[in-house]
Amino acid sequence: MDAPLVVVNFKTYSTAMADAAEALGRQMASVQTNARMVAVTSAFDLSTVSAISGLEVWSQHLDPVGQGSHTGWLEPETAIARGASGTIINHAEHKVSIEHVKQLMAMLPDGFPICACAADVAEARALAELGPTFIAVEPPELIGGDISVTTADPSIVSDTVAAVKEVNPNVRILCGAGVKNGQDVATAISLGAEGVLLASGVTKANDPESVLSDLVSKI
């Protein structure tokens, strides 16, 4: 298996925007680990955070539009020019259609990672038909909570892995929702996931650096 991923979604938390985004990105880059550390930042912070050495930076969303008359949309070519080296799409807080994902994938350069988020096994299976790089399964009711999906509903992780690999064995699985510590990460990997997608466990922590170190401690 390739290096496990620890993907931190900065969302629009005040503790992970503007100057705070740069500070959090530097903390992520300083963690000593073999894991693949990925910061998922606001479009406003792509340039600043992507300039940090040793940190991979993804966009929180992209739209399948070109440069032109598309007010308010996130156009991929400019995002890439500003430092995005991957993207998540269809997060529970920003749902899109399967067609949106399909059209976006057709516009992205070869090798550009796209992580499609799924609320359940059925949605993961449908997304797997498109062949994104990653699918992250995140039950919406657990997002931002104190109980990890690996504890509350471990079967959704293992069932998603089985369903997605049946459709497309090349798609890699991440899991998220409530992931807070190294044991959650280790459990996710034991269930077949290849990493985690989390947010508030890091972005709202009093000591993000310690949390980050703990997250990778069992990898």
* Cα distance between residue 136 and residue 193, in whole Å: 9
Q: Is 138 a catalytic residue?
A: yes
Reported as half-sphere exposure (CB side, CA atoms, 13 A), residue 116 has a value of 29
CA-based nearest residue to 38, from 88, 108, 103: 88
CB 39 within 8 A of CB 26: no
- The one catalytic residue in 56, 75, 123, 138 is 138
Beta bridge partners of 197: 7, 176
DSSP state of 3: P
- The one catalytic residue in 61, 91, 123, 194 is 91
Q: Is 123 a catalytic residue?
A: no
Strands 87-89 and 114-118, sheet pairing: parallel
The catalytic site residues sit at: 91, 138
